[in-house]
């Protein structure tokens, strides 16, 4: 099962109801189980985003951590001053 499959399955559980054979169906779970499934869904979505980013950036040079940190700090300072441009 891929991360996409997991995300798809968990997204159905996360919604209030799901359709099954043209009828609304609901799932009742203990809160702790629901929260665990939501966290698993978010993890699966993060993995999907990571895979997509890796494909998009394949072959491109990386950015050193210190440069990323500098850009983020610079953007944060601009937001505090009322600017809206990203680094």
DSSP per residue, 31-73:
HHHHHHHHHHHHHHHHHHHHHHHHHHTTTSPP--HHHHHHHHH
**Residue 12: pLDDT band with limits 50, 70, 90:** low
Domain ranges of the chain: 3-80
- pLDDT of 87 reads 45
Tell me what the mean pLDDT of segment 79-83 comes to: 80
- pLDDT of 81 reads 84
Model pTM? 0.49
- pLDDT of 85 reads 55
pLDDT tens for 24-45 read 777 788 999 889 988 988 999 9
């Amino acid at each position: 099962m891929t991360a996409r499959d997991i995300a798809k399955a968990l997204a159905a559980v996360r919604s209030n109801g799901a359709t099954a054979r043209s009828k609304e169906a609901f799932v009742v779970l203990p809160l702790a189980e629901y929260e665990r499934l939501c966290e698993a869904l978010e993890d699966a979505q993060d993995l999907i985003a990571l895979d997509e980013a890796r494909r998009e950036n394949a072959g491109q040079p990386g950015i050193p951590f210190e440069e990323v940190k500098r850009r983020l700090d610079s953007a944060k300072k601009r937001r505090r001053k009322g600017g809206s441009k990203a680094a």
